[in-house]
Every structure is written in C-alpha cells, then in structure tokens.
Amino acid sequence: MRIVILILLISLATCAKIKSQSPQKLQAELQKTNYGRALLHLVELHSMAGGSVSELLDAIEELVNDLEDGLELLDFNFQRRTNEHNALLVQLNQQIQQAVIDVSRSDDVIENLLTPRKEQLELRIATLEEYQEQNRQKVDEENLTREQEHEAYEAQVAELNDATAAVDDALSLLQTLNNPSLAQVKKFQNSLRKIESNIKPRSKMAPFLKALITLASNQNFSDQGVLTQIVNSLNEFRNAIVDSINDLSLQEVQDQEEFEARVDQLNAEYAEFQRQINALNVDLTATLDKIDQVTAFRDQRAADQASYEQQLQLENDLYADEVQIYTDTKNEFQREQAISEQALQLVQSVDFSNIQV
C-alpha cells in the first residue's frame, strides 16, 4: 500500500492542475509518463484484488498527517537553532566588542600613561646621575686644590723655618762680634742675604729685612749702639717670621676644616642623589613590570578578539549551511504534502474499477 502511495505522489508531481481535471483526463495524463502508467497498473491491481478504498484513504491521510508533523518538527528545531544562533551571535559580538575595548584601553594606558612615565623616570635618573658625576668632579677639584694649597703651605713654612734658622745664625754671630774683622762682617752680611733669599718679595717681612740690610751695609759693628739696633731688628724680624708661621698654620687648619666641610657636603649631596635614584629605580621597575603586564593582557585580548571573530565566522558559515538544508528540507516536505493532498483528492474522486492500463 505504501508503494502505491509513493508512486501516486511521484506521478502527481507531473500534474500540477490535477484538481481541475476529470478522472478521464487524469487517466489520460497519467498514461503519458512511466510513473503514471505504473500508478494506473497498481491501482488496477488493487481494484482487481478487491482492495478497500477506505484503507488507501486512511494510509494517505496518515501520510499527510506525518508530513504535517514532520514539517512542524522541522520548523520547531530550526527556530530553536535560530534562537541559539542569534544568542551566540550576541554573545560573540559582545565578547568581540569587549576585547576591542580592552585592547584600545591597554594601548591608551601604555602609550599615554606608562610609556611617558617610564621616559620621565629614565630622564630624571639620567639627570641625577649627571649631577653625581658633576659632584665627583667637584670632589676631585676640591682634593686637587687642597693638595696644592697644602703643598704651598708646607713650602712657605719650610722657607720661613729656613729664614728663622738664618736669623738665629745671625744673632749667634752678632754675639761674638767685638771689633769684628772684615771677614766676620762679610759673613754676617751673607747671612742676611741668605735670609733675604728665603723671603718672598711680597712677604710682610720683606720691609724688615730691607731695613736690616740697609742698616747693616757699610757698618763695621764697632759702634755698640748700631749693634744693639741690629740685634733688636733681627729679634723683631724673627718674631715676625714666627708669627707668619703661626698664621700660616692657623690658616692651614682653617682651610683643612673648610675643605672637609665642603667634601662632607658634596658627599651628602651625592648620597641624596643616590637615594633619589634608588627610589626612582624602584618606581621605574614597577612601571616596566606594569608595561609588561598590560602588554601581555593586550596581546591576550587581541588573541581573544581574533578567536571570537573566527568563531563568529564559523558560526555564520555553519548557520548558512543549516539554513540551506532547512530550506531544501522544508520545500521537500511542502512538495510531498501538496502531492499527498492531491492524491487524497484523487482517490476520493476516482473509480478504481474503471482504470485500465
């Protein structure tokens, strides 16, 4: 019975205007095709075998109902798939949009916040390191100046000590002078010249020495008054030398203290620069770590975006295939449903006993 129905459906597919045709015209139309002749042959056999028309009607009606149920199930499943598709599209588009936002925000943070801060910190560190270098140069200059000053001090003290010794020699010589010989006078004058050679022209003792030399020139030292005057002058001169040594020593101590204070200040400045550099390096390290973290996050979100877009494309392609399958299947269901309904009308209107092949 199912074979009869299927052949009937196939034959009816070639007869689009069956409802308007009479049984005689329908039979003539079916004779034109192999499927139609096969259908007529089976209908004839069914009639000859005394088959029940009601049984054929029930079978066709059942087939029509099955086709309607199948079409409803097809529409239901497709609608559910469409809802799932639309929900997935919304989800993927939201995920793509959020990934785009995350990538954009990450780029903005890196380009407009973290990178400028990194460059600012690096510039400040470089500036402080330059200050440190200048600081060390000042320390070197201070050390060199102090060494030169100390060397000058020692040279002056040495000269003044030599002058003191020469004065002492002259005083000792004067104590032995009593009607001195020409040789003794010459020796004394040579001692004065030795003192003179050890005294710089700009020294405050130079006037004393000049007056002493003037006084001692062309003297025979027989006059005790002149001798006493020369001795007094030498003692004053010696005291002036000692005062100069004491002044130089005091100035040396003061210069050394000022030098040490300047070096301590420079070292304190250098330590402060280093403290600031250390703090900036901590901040710079944290900034670089943050750049790495944000960069890794941005790259991950960019990869997520690409993955979501790929999933979206795959979903759209898959859904397009499913839409085509649904459309083709639905068309086939509707075609079979129309043929079945036409077959039902045919069976209800045709007298099988008059059908002959």
Q: Where are the domains of the chain?
A: 23-109+301-349, 120-288
Q: Across the chain, where does the E strand assignment appear? A: none
Burial of 140 (0-12, 13-18, 19+ CB in 10 A): exposed
* Residue whose tokens read 């997935």: 88
What are 194-208's pLDDT values in tens digits? 766 665 554 555 666
pLDDT for res 19? 43
Measure CA of the first residue to CA of the last residue in the chain; give whole Å: 19
Alpha helices (H) along 176-205: 182-197
Mean pLDDT of 283-305: 97
Q: Which two tokens stand for residue 218?
A: 């062309």
pLDDT for res 229? 79
Dihedral sign of CA atoms 291, 292, 298, 302 in order: positive
Long-range pairs for 186-191: beta carbons < 8 A, 24 or more residues apart: 188/216, 188/221, 189/213, 189/216, 189/217, 191/166
pTM for the structure as a whole? 0.62
Q: By mean pLDDT, which of 183-187, 188-192, 211-215, 223-227 is the weakest? A: 211-215
**Residue 350 has what DSSP assignment?**
-
Beta carbons within 10 angstroms of residue 241's beta carbon: 26
More confident residue, 179 or 135: 135
Q: What angle in degrees, to the nearest 10, is found between the helix axes of 224-349 and 2-12?
A: 100
- What amino acid occupies position 272? E
More confident residue, 259 or 30: 259
**pLDDT reading at 285 higher than 70:** yes
Average pLDDT, rounded, for the chain = 79
Q: Which two tokens stand for residue 120?
A: 């600012």
What residues have CB less than 8 Å from 45, skipping those under 6 apart?
none
pLDDT for res 41? 55
Q: How far is CA 256 from CA 141, 145, 252, in A?
A: 14, 11, 6
Question: What fold, for 120-288?
Answer: f41 fragment of flagellin, N-terminal domain (1.20.1330)
230 close to 167: Cβ distance less than 8 angstroms: no
